[in-house]
């Protein structure tokens, strides 16, 4: 990494007594305990340390007895708010930080500056409170951070997924950190690009006071007894530890047990004042959650650590990877942890050989660096922005930064990216004709059936599959492999057939959210696609992960089992693997209901992604009666970026179901397959999407627009894109989520509007037939009585099944003014009972927009019809101008529905600026619109198919980055849908390697 490692004892102690102000984050005890170790060394050197913390005073005074230690109990940040022991509430974390550190910012700064001056501090140390770095500058005092992560990194993903309204928080935190002189970086660190320089140090770990034998003697435990230390705070209230959860002859020390908690005889309650490092060093294995404290002590004392993943605890992947690199960690799946299936994991842990060979004197080293800096020495070395950014991009995990919009972006962020020359564009996917795999470096894969269709991404996937075959699972060098690669290498029998399917993402050219109202839509499959490799095996032959094997053996027979590996898990908060017994899809004598399946996958957020894949199996069982008697191994590798509004989820569903169908000899029409995949998303995942995404992924063709009427899914035709027209997608950087609140509420408002229109039509029909005038009351609005209408027309509108069947002139003439702009769910339910949408639920306490969401699909259907007709019209300037105008109208209609975003609006404005800066004959770009579910994601741009247009798209990309700090992905090009691709049946030639250890 090119960082500087500090050695202990490199400098002499300063002659004068120094005063340190040491600020500790409110994020758990792990920070406080490591600060204790550093502070102890500073105190022993004769200095005064003022600790500012929200942690209890005894954490420090219990270990340090000195008048030079002064504790000031103040909380200046809040860390991550947890909903339970294993899950972070991202939105609540952002909101609490706003309340704790943003709103009272000016008061905090003034107070801390005055206090720092009053104690005559020589150095401010932060672990890792952002605001205090700015306060130190204002007080004219040097500051240093000591940490393994920074809050701008942690909160960045929270903002991208949960709370974009808090986007300024990340930039403010990063700006505060940039005032710090340098960061002393601890092992297992995550990206920290805000800091100008970093010095790496050994582990900061609490020292042991007693030997292993002394501790065991005090506990009355012999050396021959296997001892587990259970270091897990926040146990579920209704959860009881059971005697049979431990292997025979084991004992377990329970830390943090409540006074009233009852324990089985093989579990021992640890005293509140017990010194945990001594207990850890005396144990044979640890079970708990990964935090810096448990991580460092497990490494330092070479103790095997069985850990349970925490959701959205964003520093964890880096600690975990370091732990596993030194062969010290085993991940326990959450459901096995809660169910007490501990034994296979504990047995596996005892087979590990932890080999951490780094220093454990970090407390001493850090204290020396702090002394030297406070005494005026320059301990840091200046690095370029490029070097800083390279240090930040570790283990394949790149910081996702929220667009700053109108927030001032620190120059060092932009300069760092420029110096590295990051290129987010993707390589050309298509190649000319089919090719020999041997000629492109994949000689070990034999294609038994299917065609490559000249797709280089498919060749790349086959190459990665071949590489997995070459991994030797029996060698210790495999610790250098990514966890997901090792996991994938262990699930396939390489001498047997593997089925491969491919499904692309899609660019929503026109139609968007009108799909669930029955609109005509136009969708283009993009270059980026998802590949799924699948193998079915007799349960007795399937290669199993250790915990799955133990679960099967406990049944005393092997039953069909599903194992999934998802590539790219290191880039997001998800576990790389998932497994389940297929019998879990059976509830008594019936198949598991969709409602129960949704709850099953939602129990562990880090594995909720498996619902998109495993859900296809349940849907095939329920809808088609398919029986799965074999075990199934699945590898998923998707190049369709998540959260960009280009249907990453549909690509995964379609590719998975296509692979399952191919491997099991199921003949499913692409249209029917798309409808089944929609059920996966609606009923198993729980996202209320329409069907156009799955249809485009399954039925689309390269360089054509799939024209379909979503009533429910009728393909009208494949519209060839004229050679003079080209479409691009540009990602705004604002994460789109089809399961998000905005999309769902707009959909609910649309269905409420349809129900009200039908009710109005029924009343008018009744009036026309009976010739009686009865006022119609909707909420507080009494509606005027309509003029007499055609009875047949009213009869059709009273039974309206799709809003898009209502012509625009009828909507304006009869209903537009009669629909309220807003209506509460309670008032609607009292009058209309239900909105007749099976995938959304009305919240009685919420107000829903009605008029705009109802109007949008009616007019959007008209716009799409006009767009489709114009595409086949004679080539002319007017054609492109009219197409672009329709896209602009669609974009602004999204905004009226509340589904716009600052980022996508900015991109559309940039297209308009580009369009109007030239004369009409020199115009290259003609229109743009937000895509898919809205509320972020990407925009679709239409322009001429020429070099000048491509240059202007790249200029827009650069201008957007200059304005927001985010370099958007450009989607350019098309590829075939899953139906056109078909499937591949391949076999990997055997490779000499040992079996799984």
Give catalytic residue positions: 693
C-alpha of 941 from chain center: 27
**Could you tell me the two tokens for 482?**
């990514």
Tell me how crowded residue 762 is: count the other CB atoms within 10 A of its CB. 16
> What distance in Å separates the CA atoms of residue 866 and residue 418, rounded to the nearest whole number?
43
Cα angle at 525 between 524 and 528, to 5 degrees?
Answer: 135
Strand, helix or coil at 964? Answer: helix
* Diameter of the chain measured on Cα atoms: 103
> What distance in Å separates the CA atoms of residue 565 and residue 483, rounded to the nearest whole number?
10
8-state DSSP, 833: S
**Half-sphere exposure for 836 (CA within 13 Å, toward CB):** 18
User: Is there a cis peptide before residue 639, judged by omega within 30 degrees of 0?
Assistant: no
User: Residue 652 in contact with residue 629, Cβ under 8 Å?
Assistant: no
DSSP E strand boundaries for 740-888: 776-778, 781-783, 822-824, 847-849
Angle between the 947-964 and 902-916 helix axes, to the nearest 10 degrees? 140
**Could you tell me the two tokens for 258?**
């409540």
Q: Phi/psi of residue 865, each to 5°?
A: -60, -45
Q: How far is CA 2 from CA 207, 383, 399, 480, 662, in A?
A: 29, 10, 19, 19, 49
**Could you tell me the two tokens for 689?**
């999407």
Tell me how crowded residue 263 is: count the other CB atoms within 10 A of its CB. 14
- CA quadruple 551, 552, 557, 560: dihedral positive or negative? positive
Cα angle at 752 between 746 and 753, to 5 degrees?
Answer: 90
Q: What is the DSSP string of 28-47?
A: -HHHHHHHHHHHHHHHHTT-
User: Residue 949 in contact with residue 924, Cβ under 8 Å?
Assistant: yes
| Nearest by Cα to 341 from 247, 262, 251 | 247
> What distance in Å separates the CA atoms of residue 927 and residue 915, rounded to the nearest whole number?
8
Q: How far is CA 962 from CA 165, 194, 285, 906, 951, in A?
A: 21, 18, 51, 12, 16
Q: In the chain, what is the straight-line distance between the N-terminal and C-terminal CA atoms, in Å?
A: 31
- Which residues, including other chains, have CB under 8 Å from residue 792's CB and lie 6 or more apart? none
- CA quadruple 471, 477, 482, 487: dihedral positive or negative? positive
8-state DSSP, 698: H
> What distance in Å separates the CA atoms of residue 53 and residue 23, rounded to the nearest whole number?
6
8-state DSSP, 522: E
Strand, helix or coil at 499? Answer: strand
User: Residue 37 in contact with residue 59, Cβ under 8 Å?
Assistant: no
User: Is there a cis peptide before residue 128, judged by omega within 30 degrees of 0?
Assistant: yes
User: Residue 727 in contact with residue 509, Cβ under 8 Å?
Assistant: yes
User: Residue 154 in contact with residue 80, Cβ under 8 Å?
Assistant: yes
Torsion angle of C-alpha atoms 344, 350, 356, 357, degrees rounded to 10: -160
69 pairs with which residues across the strands? 49
Rg (Cα) of the chain, in Å, rounded? 31
**Could you tell me the two tokens for 134?**
């700015």
């Amino acid at each position: 990494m090119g960082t500087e490692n500090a050695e202990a004892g490199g400098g002499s102690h300063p002659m004068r007594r120094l005063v340190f102000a040491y600020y500790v984050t409110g994020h758990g005890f792990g920070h406080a305990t490591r600060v204790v170790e550093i502070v102890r060394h500073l105190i022993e050197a004769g200095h005064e340390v003022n600790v500012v913390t929200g942690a209890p005073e005894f954490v420090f005074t219990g270990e340090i007895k000195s008048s030079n230690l002064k504790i000031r109990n103040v909380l200046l940040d809040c860390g991550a708010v947890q909903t339970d022991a294993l899950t972070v509430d991202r939105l609540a974390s952002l909101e609490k930080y706003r309340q704790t550190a943003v709103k009272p910012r000016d008061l905090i700064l003034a107070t801390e500056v005055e206090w720092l001056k009053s104690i005559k501090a020589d150095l401010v140390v932060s672990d890792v409170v952002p605001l205090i770095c700015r306060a130190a500058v204002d007080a004219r005092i040097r500051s240093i951070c000591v940490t393994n992560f920074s809050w701008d990194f942690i909160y960045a993903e929270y903002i991208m997924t949960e709370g974009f309204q808090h986007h300024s928080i990340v930039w403010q935190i990063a700006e505060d950190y940039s005032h710090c002189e340098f960061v002393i970086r601890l092992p297992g660190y995550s990206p920290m690009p805000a800091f100008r320089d970093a010095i790496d140090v050994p582990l900061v770990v609490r020292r042991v006071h007693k030997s292993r034998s002394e501790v065991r003697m005090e506990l009355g435990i012999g050396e021959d007894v296997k001892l587990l230390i259970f270091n897990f705070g926040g146990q579920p209230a209704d959860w009881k530890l059971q005697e049979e959860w431990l292997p025979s002859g084991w004992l377990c020390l329970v830390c943090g047990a409540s006074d009233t908690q009852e324990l089985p005889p093989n579990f021992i309650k640890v005293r509140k004042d017990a010194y945990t490092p001594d207990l850890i060093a005396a144990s044979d294995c640890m079970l708990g959650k990964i935090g810096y404290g448990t991580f460092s002590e497990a490494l330092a004392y070479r103790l095997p650590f069985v850990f349970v993943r925490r959701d959205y605890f964003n520093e964890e992947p880096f600690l975990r990877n370091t732990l596993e690199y030194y062969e010290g960690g085993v991940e326990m799946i959450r459901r096995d942890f809660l169910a007490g299936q501990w034994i296979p994991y504990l047995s596996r842990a005892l087979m590990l050989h932890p080999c951490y060979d780094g220093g454990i004197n970090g407390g001493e080293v850090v204290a020396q660096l702090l002394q030297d800096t406070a005494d005026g020495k320059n301990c840091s070395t200046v690095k370029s922005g490029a070097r800083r950014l390279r240090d930040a991009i570790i283990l394949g995990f790149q910081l996702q930064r929220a667009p700053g919009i109108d927030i001032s972006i620190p120059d060092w962020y932009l300069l760092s990216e420029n110096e590295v020359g990051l290129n987010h564009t993707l390589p050309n996917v298509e190649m000319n004709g089919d090719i020999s795999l041997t000629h492109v470096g994949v000689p070990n894969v034999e294609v038994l059936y299917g065609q490559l269709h000249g797709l280089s991404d498919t060749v790349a996937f086959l190459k990665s599959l071949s590489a997995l075959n070459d991994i030797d699972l029996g060698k210790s060098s495999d610790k250098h492999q990514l966890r997901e690669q090792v996991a994938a290498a262990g699930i396939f029998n390489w001498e047997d057939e593997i089925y491969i399917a491919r499904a692309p993402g899609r660019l929503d050219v026109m139609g968007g959210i009108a799909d669930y109202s029955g609109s005509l839509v136009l969708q283009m499959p993009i270059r980026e696609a998802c590949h799924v490799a699948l193998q079915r095996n007799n349960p007795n032959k399937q290669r199993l992960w250790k915990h799955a094997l133990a679960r099967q053996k406990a049944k005393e027979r092997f039953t069909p089992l599903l194992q999934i590996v998802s590539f790219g898990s290191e880039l997001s908060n998800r576990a790389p693997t998932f497994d389940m017994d297929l019998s879990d899809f059976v509830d008594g004598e019936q198949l598991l209901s969709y409602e129960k399946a949704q709850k099953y996958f939602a129990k562990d957020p880090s594995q909720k992604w498996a619902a998109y894949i495993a859900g296809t199996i349940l849907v095939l069982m329920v809808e088609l009666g398919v029986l799965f008697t074999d075990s199934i191994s699945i590898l998923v590798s998707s190049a369709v970026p998540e959260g960009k509004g280009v249907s990453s989820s549909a690509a995964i569903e379609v590719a998975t179901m296509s692979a399952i169908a191919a491997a099991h000899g199921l003949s499913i029409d692409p249209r029917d397959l798309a409808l089944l995949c929609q059920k996966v998303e609606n009923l198993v995942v729980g996202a209320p999407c329409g069907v156009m995404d799955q249809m485009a992924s399954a039925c689309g063709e390269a360089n054509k627009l799939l024209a379909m009427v979503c009533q429910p899914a009728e393909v009208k035709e494949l519209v060839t894109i004229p050679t003079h027209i080209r479409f691009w997608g540009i990602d705004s950087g604002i994460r789109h989520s089809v399961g998000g609140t905005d999309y769902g509420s707009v959909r609910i408002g649309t269905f409420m509007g349809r129900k009200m229109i039908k009710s109005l039509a029924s009343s008018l029909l009744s009036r026309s037939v009976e010739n009686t005038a009865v006022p119609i009351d909707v909420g507080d609005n009494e509606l005027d009585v309509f003029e007499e209408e055609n009875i047949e027309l009213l009869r059709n509108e009273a039974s309206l099944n799709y809003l898009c069947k209502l012509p625009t002139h009828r909507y304006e003439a009869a209903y537009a003014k009669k629909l309220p702009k807003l209506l509460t769910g309670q008032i609607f339910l009292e009058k209309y009972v239900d909105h007749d949408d099976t995938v959304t639920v009305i919240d009685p306490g919420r107000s829903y927009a009605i008029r705009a969401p109802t109007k949008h699909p009616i007019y959007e259907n008209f716009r799409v019809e006009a767009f489709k007709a114009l595409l086949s019209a004679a080539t002319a300037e007017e054609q492109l101008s009219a197409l672009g105008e329709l896209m602009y109208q669609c974009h602004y209609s999204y905004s009226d529905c509340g589904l716009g975003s600052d980022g996508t609006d900015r991109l559309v404005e940039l297209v308009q600026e580009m369009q109007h800066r030239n004369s009409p004959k020199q115009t290259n770009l003609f229109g743009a619109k937000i895509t898919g579910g809205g509320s972020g994601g990407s925009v679709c741009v239409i322009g001429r198919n020429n070099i000048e247009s491509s240059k202007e798209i790249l200029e827009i990309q650069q201008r957007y980055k200059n304005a927001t700090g985010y370099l958007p992905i450009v989607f350019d090009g098309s590829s075939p849908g899953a139906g056109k691709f078909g499937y591949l049946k391949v076999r990997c030639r055997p490779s000499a390697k040992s079996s799984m250890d």
